[in-house]
């Protein structure tokens, strides 16, 4: 059994942002309560993951996703969870460190990036924002499951239950989010 | 052949993906994960979806006195997102065909323009119980749900703590054993190594009368009235 780990905080999502802001990513920093070091840590980690997604691992990932069309959210979530936990473990093996507080955030960003990828590659077409959100929510749930299954000790049954407890306690801003207007207009990469 | 976009990849730009999860979706996902963790901690079903379902039935079933009737094991894979779009109510049979994708789709099928955590809890209740309207009940029982999760988390922590103590004890005994193997005391196994797995060293070289108590007395062997005794008696050594 994995060793106990403290619960990681829930990332502060886009909440109550005016539609225009949400749509264009202005004032959308999800790390409102995170330190600059933590922000940098997440960026650094996800940059490595995204580089892998779009370069070395691109063909394999796209191929796998195409073969998982019938089960795409689970495939995306599992890949995202595995990539994040593996990257953290590689980082730690090299003497680096990653704040477990930022695990959910890194997973969320990776799932979002995968969602762009499946759409860009024509693997999945999202008819509206609700469908995109549902896809990402399902994928993130599977990413958490993959993380619990992984060797990364910071994510385990206990820490995951603590996160849910914190949510119920009101750690997360419970105010409603706009259903629409959270997708950024096509970006030139 | 690689996609044309790969050669133009710029992490700084790519980091800003156009798909952004809203708070309620993140919250719902983490709630489901917590419920799945609960299911797994209670034995698990061998699959994450199965764990979510068993955890949810346990959590919400206790509160609503029944629990869901459907089975997530019978999910039709791939239809998760599409199956329940447009359906406001999730009965247990719909949960069975829609999976957690159906749960998320249901959150967005109400036609509401704003989604809060109340919607998330209501959808969770409906999903796991098959009841159409659990909103008020769920809201009033939030503390119960939280307590149930917390109790289980505490159990895990406790069992992990006990496990760690046992490991520490085994490590300590092993260290003693290693010392015993590597040393002798007047030709016998060092009596300090009398832990499980090391043979009782028995008496060592005795000159004169063996004391009945060694180490247990306040004076110890040096203060004993049995002058000239050199003994390796075992009585009281491990007290």
Lowest mean pLDDT across A12-26, B22-36, B196-210: A12-26
Higher pLDDT, B132 or A125: A125
3-state secondary structure B108-119: CCCCCCEECHHH
Average pLDDT over every residue of B27-39: 91
Domain membership of residue A91 as a residue range: 36-165
**Measuring CA to CA, how many Å separate B100 from each of A32, A47, A65, B30, B235?**
29, 29, 19, 12, 65
- Interchain proximity B23–A172, CB inside 8 Å: yes
Residues 6+ apart with CB under 8 A from A41: A98, A99, A102
pLDDT for the residue numbered B210: 52
What is the C-alpha to C-alpha distance for residues B162 and A182, in angstroms, rounded to an integer? 47
Specify the residue for token string 């034995």: B43
Mean pLDDT, all residues of chain A: 78
Residue of B nearest to A7 (CA): B153
User: What is the CB neighbour count within 10 angstroms for residue B161?
Assistant: 11
Tell me the two tokens of residue B104.
Answer: 């998320």
| Cβ atoms of A74 and A131 closer than 8 Å | no
Lowest mean pLDDT across A158-172, B89-103, B144-158: B89-103
**Is B196 in the A-facing interface, judged by CB distances under 8 Å?**
no
pLDDT for the residue numbered A75: 96
Closest-CA residue to B97 (of B81, B121, B120, B119): B81
pLDDT for the residue numbered B207: 53
pLDDT for the residue numbered B193: 59
Chain B residues with CB under 8 Å of A40 CB are: none
A7: left (phi over 0), alpha (psi -120 to 50) or beta: beta
Q: Is B44 in a helix, a strand, or coil?
A: coil
Residue B95 has pLDDT above 90, yes or no: no
Chain A residues with CB under 8 Å of B109 CB are: 130
pLDDT for the residue numbered A97: 87
Average pLDDT over every residue of B46-74: 68
Residue of B nearest to A68 (CA): B78
**Is B144 in the A-facing interface, judged by CB distances under 8 Å?**
no
What is the C-alpha to C-alpha distance for residues B81 and A164, in angstroms, rounded to an integer? 23
Torsion over CA: B211, B213, B218, B220 (sign): positive
Residues 6+ apart with CB under 8 A from B176: B192, B193, B195, B198
**Is B228 in the A-facing interface, judged by CB distances under 8 Å?**
no
Tell me the two tokens of residue A163.
Answer: 């996160």
Distance from CA of A88 to the nearest CA of B (A): 18
- Counting the structural domains of chain A, the total is 1
pLDDT for the residue numbered A146: 96
User: What is the CB neighbour count within 10 angstroms for residue B166?
Assistant: 10
Strands (E), chain B: 114-115, 184-185, 188-189
pLDDT for the residue numbered A16: 46
In a domain? residue A60: yes
In a domain? residue A187: no
- Interchain proximity A177–B22, CB inside 8 Å: yes
pLDDT digits (tens, 9 = 90+) for A138-156: 999 999 999 999 999 989 9
pLDDT digits (tens, 9 = 90+) for A16-28: 444 333 332 222 3
Residue of B nearest to A142 (CA): B48
| Cβ atoms of B101 and B80 closer than 8 Å | yes
**Measuring CA to CA, how many Å separate B104 from each of B29, B44, B56, B131, B217?**
9, 23, 15, 16, 72
- Interchain proximity B3–A120, CB inside 8 Å: yes
Mean pLDDT, all residues of chain B: 63
pLDDT for the residue numbered A91: 93
> In B, residues 5-64, which contact A (CB 8 Å cutoff)?
5-6, 8-11, 13-38, 40-41, 48, 51-52
- In angstroms, how far apart are the furthest CA atoms of chain B? 97
* First vs last C-alpha separation in chain A: 43
pLDDT for the residue numbered A22: 35
pLDDT for the residue numbered B176: 66
Higher pLDDT, B48 or B80: B48
Cα B8 from chain centroid (whole Å) = 43
- Interchain proximity B17–A156, CB inside 8 Å: no
Distance from CA of B138 to the nearest CA of A (A): 11
| Cβ atoms of A168 and B142 closer than 8 Å | yes
- Length in residues, chain B: 239
In a domain? residue A189: no
- Give me the residue from B34, B41, B101 closest to A138, CB to CB: B101
Residue of A nearest to B5 (CA): A189
């Amino acid at each position: 059994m994995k060793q106990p780990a403290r619960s990681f905080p829930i990332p502060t999502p886009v909440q109550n942002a005016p539609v225009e802001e949400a749509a264009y990513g202005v004032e959308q920093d999800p790390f409102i309560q995170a330190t600059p070091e933590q922000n940098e840590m997440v960026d650094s980690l996800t940059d490595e993951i995204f580089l892998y997604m779009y370069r070395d691992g691109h063909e394999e990932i796209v191929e796998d996703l195409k073969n998982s069309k019938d089960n795409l959210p689970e495939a995306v979530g599992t890949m995202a969870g595995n990539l994040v936990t593996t990257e953290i473990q590689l980082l730690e093996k090299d003497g680096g460190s990653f704040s477990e507080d930022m695990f959910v955030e890194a997973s969320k960003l990776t799932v979002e990036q995968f969602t762009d990828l499946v759409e860009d590659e024509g693997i999945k077409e999202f008819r509206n924002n609700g469908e995109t959100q549902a896809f990402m929510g399902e994928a993130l749930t599977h990413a958490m499951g993959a993380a619990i299954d992984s060797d990364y000790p910071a994510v385990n049954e206990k820490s995951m239950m603590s996160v849910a407890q914190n949510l119920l306690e009101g750690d997360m801003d419970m105010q409603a989010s706009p259903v629409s207007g959270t997708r950024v207009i096509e970006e030139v990469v | 052949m690689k996609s044309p976009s790969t050669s133009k990849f710029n992490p700084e730009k790519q980091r800003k993906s156009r798909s952004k999860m809203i708070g309620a979706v993140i919250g719902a996902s983490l709630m489901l994960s917590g419920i799945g963790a609960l299911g797994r901690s209670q034995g698990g079903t061998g699959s994450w979806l199965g764990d979510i379902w068993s955890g949810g039935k346990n959590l919400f079933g206790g509160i609503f006195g029944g629990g869901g009737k459907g089975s997530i094991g019978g999910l039709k894979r791939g239809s998760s997102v599409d199956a329940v779009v447009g359906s406001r109510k999730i009965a247990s049979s719909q949960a069975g065909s829609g999976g957690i994708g159906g749960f998320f789709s249901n959150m967005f099928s109400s036609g509401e323009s704003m989604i809060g955590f109340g919607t998330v809890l209501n959808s969770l209740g409906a999903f796991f119980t098959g009841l159409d309207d659990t909103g008020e009940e769920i809201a009033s029982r939030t503390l119960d749900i939280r307590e149930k999760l917390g109790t289980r988390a505490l159990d895990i922590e406790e069992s992990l703590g006990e496990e760690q103590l046992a490991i520490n004890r085994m490590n300590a005994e092993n260290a003693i054993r290693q010392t015993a193997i590597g040393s002798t005391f007047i030709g016998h196994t060092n009596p300090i190594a009398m832990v499980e797995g090391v043979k009782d060293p028995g008496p060592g070289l005795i000159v004169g009368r063996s004391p009945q108590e060694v180490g247990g007395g306040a004076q110890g062997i040096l203060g004993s009235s049995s002058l000239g005794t050199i003994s390796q008696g075992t009585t009281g050594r491990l007290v």
